[in-house]
Amino acid sequence: MKTEKDRITSCDCNLIHKETVEYVAGKMPSEEDLYDLAELFKVFGDTTRIKILCALVEAEMCVCDIAALLNMTQSSISHQLRILKQARLVRYRRDGKVVYYSIDDEHVKQIFDQGLIHLKER
């Protein structure tokens, strides 16, 4: 006869608040949503990308502008813009040789502001 404890294999502890675990298990977002959420925050979790996004919140800019602003290689900025593009956080438009990037999501600023509020409250 199998008990609940038998089924939960990877916890080597004996004390489990079974009801709490089951309650929370029922409340959790889907595995896919949790994965996607982590992927999104992973994109935010780099200083260069944060800077790029903060800059684009203020103005539309070309790759060269951003590289100059952040004092970084055109190549690295371009690589990071690719990641931001894939995450649908920025969009671009081409004007001759120049490619202009801008923010593609109004929530970016709100998410950043919430993050800054957390930091300010120590």
Partner DNA sequence: ATAACATATGTACACTTGTTCATATGTACA
Partner DNA sequence: TGTACATATGAACAAGTGTACATATGTTAT
What's the distance, Cα to Cα, between the start and end of the chain in Å?
51
CA–CA dist 121, 107 (Å, integer) = 21
CA distance 87 to 89: 5
Near DNA in 12-71, by CB under 7 A: 12-15, 42, 45-49, 62-64
Among 40, 50, 55, 83, binds DNA (CB under 7 A): 83
Number of Cβ atoms within 10 Å of the Cβ of 38: 10
Site for a copy of itself in 52-111 (CB under 8 A): 54-55, 58-59, 61-65, 67-69, 71-74, 88, 97-98, 105, 107-108, 110-111
118 binds, among DNA, a copy of itself, none (CB under 5 to 8 A by kind): a copy of itself
Asked if 115 interacts with a copy of itself (CB under 8 A), we say: yes
Residues composing the chain: 122
| Tokens found for residue 26 | 């029922």
Q: Is 76 in the site for DNA (CB under 7 A)?
A: yes
